[in-house]
Amino acid sequence: MSDRLRYVLIAAALVLAAVIVYPFFRSGGARPAGPAGLAGSTAPVYAMQTDTGTSASLAGYRGKIVVMNLWASWCPPCRAEMPDLERLARQFAARGVVVVGVNQGESAQRAAAFAQSLGITFPIWVDDQQRYGRVYAALGLPTTVIIGRNGVVVRGFDGALTLPQMRAAVAPLVKTP
């Protein structure tokens, strides 16, 4: 085989490889991983139980801004974040913001004891099948999802947030009717 033919074949193989690999590396249209990738989609609604055994669902919060926080009692960043979520819930309640803590995979008793130990007053749901963790593609805990008044996911975050970060995520939604 001549050197010229070899170079043509190598060049053709490189072009073909680039065409095949390009879609995996382009940024346009690709959604981010984790909960951020669901922005713009309707938040799923599951029938849940609270830590006190009553029924709960996102459907009951339509018209409100929901800050849904996925957590577990064994998660140190979750424990650290909870007091700021409580502050956010109290500061923004009059403006139509509801914080909901969704325990991932633990018993109602454990979730209730954890929330009580930290003085949490916002609703605690028990997601023993971890449906929200799966649908929001939680890469870990805590995971926070901001849902607009219309039931559409606005933003999603992996990892603990500070109170200023929470306020910054909610403030634009509070300003819009």
Domain membership of residue 46 (yes or no) is: yes
Can you give the residue range of the structural domain that contains 90?
31-175
Q: Is 168 part of any domain?
A: yes
The reply to whether 94 falls in a domain is yes
| pTM of structure | 0.81
Q: By percentage, how much of the chain surpasses pLDDT 70? A: 85
Q: Give the angle 18-24-28 at the CA atoms, nearest 5°.
A: 105
Q: For the segment 82-124, what is each residue's pLDDT rounded down to a tens digit?
A: 999 999 999 999 999 999 999 999 999 999 999 999 999 999 9
Return mean pLDDT, the chain: 89
Residue 82, in any domain of the structure: yes
Burial (CB < 10 A; 0-12, 13-18, 19+), residue 53, is: exposed
* pLDDT mean over 6-27: 55
Q: What domain count does the chain have?
A: 1
Q: Is 87 part of a structural domain of the chain?
A: yes
**13 found inside a domain:** no
48: tokens are 């849940």
CATH label of the domain that carries residue 121: 3.40.30.10
Residue 98: inside a domain: yes
Contacts of 33 (CB under 8 A, 6+ apart): 137, 139
Tens digit of pLDDT for each residue in 22-60? 444 444 456 677 888 889 999 999 999 999 999 999 999
Q: How far is CA 63 from the centre of its chain?
A: 19
Nearest to 63 by CA among 98, 36, 100, 101: 98
